[in-house]
């Protein structure tokens, strides 16, 4: 697997943020989508716990800092365009703030 450097990540496309997909390492389920800036990614790589940037609160946050439902990051993958990350994680407890295992628990019916 080819390794990428932080300079290869296109933070400029999203005003300093890139989308991050969190995927459960054992089940392969998509758990959530959040955003990271350069600082969040650096902190994630240093601590191996998922850190994100909250667009609503305008600050860095560690997943599970209040709930205890942390994400231990096993791998970080960068997409081909360099503008989206995939955190492959070991999830503790539910990933969604609603208490659901994943944030993707509703089916869109097109109406």
Task: Specify the CATH number for the domain of residue 53.
Answer: 3.10.20.810
This prediction has a pTM of 0.93
Residues 54, 11, 20, 39: what is their CA dihedral angle, to the nearest 10 degrees? -60
Q: Answer whether residue 31 is part of any domain.
A: yes
What mean pLDDT do residues 5-30 have? 95
At residue 68 the predicted structure's pLDDT band, cuts being 50, 70 and 90, is: very high
Q: Answer whether residue 106 is part of any domain.
A: no
Percentage above 70 pLDDT, the chain:
100
Q: Answer whether residue 29 is part of any domain.
A: yes
Q: Answer whether residue 105 is part of any domain.
A: no
pLDDT at 14: 86
Closest CA to 69 of 28, 24, 26, 39: 24
Query: How many Å apart are CA 12 and CA 47, to the nearest integer?
Result: 25
Query: How many Å apart are CA 38 and CA 9, to the nearest integer?
Result: 9
Q: Answer whether residue 2 is part of any domain.
A: no
Q: Answer whether residue 99 is part of any domain.
A: no
Q: Answer whether residue 103 is part of any domain.
A: no
Structure tokens at 40: 């969040």
User: Is 90 exceeded by the pLDDT of residue 35?
Assistant: yes
Query: How many Å apart are CA 11 and CA 40, to the nearest integer?
Result: 12
Number of folded domains in the chain? 1
Q: Answer whether residue 30 is part of any domain.
A: yes
What mean pLDDT do residues 62-88 have? 97
At residue 2 the predicted structure's pLDDT band, cuts being 50, 70 and 90, is: confident
Residues 7, 31, 51, 15: what is their CA dihedral angle, to the nearest 10 degrees? 50
Count of beta carbons in the 10 Å neighbourhood of residue 24: 17
Residue 35 C-alpha from the chain's centroid: 6
């Amino acid at each position: 697997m080819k390794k990428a450097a932080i300079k290869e990540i296109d933070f400029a496309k999203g005003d300093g943020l890139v989308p991050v997909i969190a995927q459960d390492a054992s089940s392969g389920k998509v758990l959530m989508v959040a955003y990271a800036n350069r600082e969040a990614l650096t902190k994630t790589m240093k601590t191996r716990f998922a850190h994100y940037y909250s667009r609503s609160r305008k600050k860095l946050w560690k997943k599970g800092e209040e709930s205890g439902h942390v994400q231990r990051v096993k791998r970080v993958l960068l997409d081909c365009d360099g503008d989206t990350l995939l955190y492959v994680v070991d999830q503790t407890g539910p990933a969604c703030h609603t208490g659901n295992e994943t944030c993707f628990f509703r089916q869109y019916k097109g109406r």
